[in-house]
Amino acid sequence: MTDTPGRPRPRRPALIDPAAADELPGDLDPAVRRDVAHTTAAALVHQGRATADPDVVARLVALVETEGLDVVAAMWADSPAGSLPGALWRLYVLREWVRRDPATVADRYRLGVAAVPVHDVVAGVADAPGPADVRAVADAVLSGVYTGELDAALERAGAFCRVLAAGAAVDADHLDEVDPAGATRQTRGAASLLRTAEELEHAATLWRAGRLE
């Protein structure tokens, strides 16, 4: 995500320490980068859980939109999947994909839900969802990080990713005859989504054990 030429970059709201965020794109010592990732992730989760203000939670959910994907990536993208910043990064990337291409995500879900034994109530999506429905569930998952049980939010996101992975695999099968290259891309996408689902589910297990930091 880049800034529009000729326009000043919007001021960052006080969700992330601006000094820490500004330092990250440079050649920061890996240990310092790791500390910043864990500190900012823990601070955001604490901030969300410490408030009853829905506007604060809404700002936290919209973090990528307000801060920029590049800033969030610089903080968390290199964090291990089995860490709090790594888990948050996966949740925000999932929401950003849904936000940018809800029609494709809804189509993948409709294909996948018939192919895998994941109950709609677990994944949090209604029957035959449209773009607005999948956007709503992506927002609800992230809201759950700050207002509900974090492990439940992670498991819900994992279930959602499993359905989308199945949908991508079904789509790959449909494309195999007419677009082999497209089928290969979809197969790789399905594998990536399945891996993300497993990582999110493992992060939920770590959280319950008090080991997700």
Q: Tell me, what's the pLDDT at 198?
A: 96
pLDDT tens-digit readout, 34-71: 999 999 999 999 999 998 899 999 999 999 999 999 99
Residue 147 has pLDDT above 60, yes or no: yes
Report d(CA 70, CA 204) in Å as an integer.
26
146 band by pLDDT with thresholds 50, 70 and 90? very high
pLDDT tens-digit readout, 163-182: 999 999 998 888 888 888 88
Q: Tell me, what's the pLDDT at 103?
A: 96
- The rounded mean pLDDT for the chain is 85
Taking a C-beta distance cutoff of 8 angstroms, is the pair 141, 157 a contact? yes
Q: Tell me, what's the pLDDT at 14?
A: 38
Q: Tell me, what's the pLDDT at 150?
A: 93
Among 4-8, 88-92, 137-141, whose mean pLDDT is lowest? 4-8
Report d(CA 11, CA 174) in Å as an integer.
46
Over residues 118-138, mean pLDDT: 79
Report d(CA 77, CA 167) in Å as an integer.
26
Residues 6 or more apart whose CB falls under 8 angstroms from that of 60 comprise 15, 44, 47, 48, 142, 146
15 band by pLDDT with thresholds 50, 70 and 90? very low
Q: Tell me, what's the pLDDT at 27?
A: 57
Residue 127 has pLDDT above 80, yes or no: no
Taking a C-beta distance cutoff of 8 angstroms, is the pair 111, 167 a contact? yes
Q: Tell me, what's the pLDDT at 1?
A: 38
Taking a C-beta distance cutoff of 8 angstroms, is the pair 89, 72 a contact? yes
Selection from 138, 20, 33 nearest residue 80 by Cα: 33
Q: Tell me, what's the pLDDT at 121?
A: 55
pTM: 0.84
175 by Cβ neighbours in 10 Å (0-12 / 13-18 / 19+) ranks as middle
How many Cα atoms occupy the beta-carbon half-sphere of 210 within 13 Å? 0
